[in-house]
Amino acid sequence: PLNVFDNVDRALEHGSLEINEEEKSALLEHGQANYREFLLQRMGQEPYRPPNVRGWVGGKLWINSGTLNARRQLVETLFTPVNEDNLNADEQVELVAARAQGIGTFTITEERLAKMQSDMTPDQITARFVDYFLPVKVDDAYRAGVREFLTGETNPAKQLVRLRNTAVTLLQSPEYQLC
């Protein structure tokens, strides 16, 4: 799951969160800043706590209905801004400390997507997303479908939404889940 963070960051460099009642209570219990860690724990892949010295088994072995849902929610949180008003005092202290260390962005922002949109052509964006997000080789029809979706809107604001939705959809796709 940590590769989700790495892949999104690498791809961008070179919506709303829907949760059920159990997850909502966990979010309130753990706080917004720790919700991503909570999702990683639900996937059985708590950072820095592998099940043994070998680490986590990859591929299809650890994907089930619970972990797949948690992975999808984790992707949504990457693209959902942190609501600082909902942070508790400890989380606000951590936020101030992170900003003092030069870390100011914790999610994929619209500004970052807009920069990507202005700096790259739809073909380049398609190649970047497909090549970075999918561990399997996809055919030309798949690439064409991604590109067609990206270019299917002329309104710049809606183009940005399509760019975001493309990234989220690819990161939530079965192909990505096997990386």
Q: Say whether pLDDT at 20 is over 60.
A: no
Block residue for tokens 């493309």: 166
Residue 142 CB coordination number (10 Å): 15
Residue with more model confidence, 11 or 115: 115
Segment 86-94 long-range contacts (CB within 8 Å, at least 24 positions apart): 86/31, 86/32, 87/31, 87/32, 87/33, 88/31, 90/31, 91/31, 91/32, 91/33, 91/34, 94/33
Of the chain, the percentage scoring pLDDT greater than 90 comes to: 20
Block residue for tokens 């909502």: 24
Residue with more model confidence, 93 or 177: 93
Q: Which of 75, 116, 82, 78 minimizes the C-alpha distance to 99?
A: 82
Q: pLDDT tier at 127 (50, 70, 90 boundaries)?
A: very high
Q: pLDDT tier at 47 (50, 70, 90 boundaries)?
A: low
Task: Indicate the SS3 state at residue 159.
Answer: helix
Query: Does an H or E element contain 100, and which?
Result: helix 89-100
How many angstroms from the chain centroid is the CA of residue 57? 21
Q: pLDDT tier at 94 (50, 70, 90 boundaries)?
A: confident
Query: How would you class 88 by CB atoms within 10 Å of its CB: exposed for 0-12, middle for 13-18, buried for 19 or more?
Result: middle
Is the entire prediction scored with pTM above 0.75? no
